[in-house]
Amino acid sequence: EDQVTQSPEALRLQEGESSSLNCSYTVSGLRGLFWYRQDPGKGPEFLFTLYSAGEEKEKERLKATLTKKESFLHITAPKPEDSATYLCAVQAVGYSTLTFGKGTMLLVSP
């Protein structure tokens, strides 16, 4: 059974204080690993897809990396508007559905 574990559950940062969120996964064969951002009262918003170990993708202050067992979402010099819940999900080879983690709630204080 596919499993996704995200840590920490919650993270509080000062503006400008860089950090990383972790997503550990177990999947029979990885088709893709996805990162989403979810603001309160809204549906998740797509950020990145990673397909193979060693792959990296960047978007503004966010960079996602992937190994064979985990993915990191690095946040560089975060701003208050980066406050949100970040979700990680995996898709196994041969399946069209995603398995999600519980998310990391990030709060960035000015």
Partner 1 sequence: SAVISQKPSRDICQRGTSLTIQCQVDSQVTMMFWYRQQPGQSLTLIATANQGSEATYESGFVIDKFPISRPNLTFSTLTVSNMSPEDSSIYLCSFKGGGNEKLFFGSGTQLSVL
Using CB under 8 A as the criterion, which residues of the chain lie in contact with partner 1 when the complex forms?
Answer: 4, 32, 34, 36, 41-46, 49, 87, 89, 96-103
Dihedral sign (CA 107, 59, 100, 30):
negative
* CB 73, min distance to partner 1, A: 16
Cβ at position 77, least distance to partner 1 in Å: 27
Supply the minimum distance, in Å, between the C-beta of residue 100 and partner 1: 4
| Contact of 85 with 105, CB cutoff 8 Å | yes
Residue (of 23, 30, 8) closest to 98 by Cα position: 30
Nearer to partner 1, 35 or 108 (CB): 35
- Amino acid sitting at position 66: L
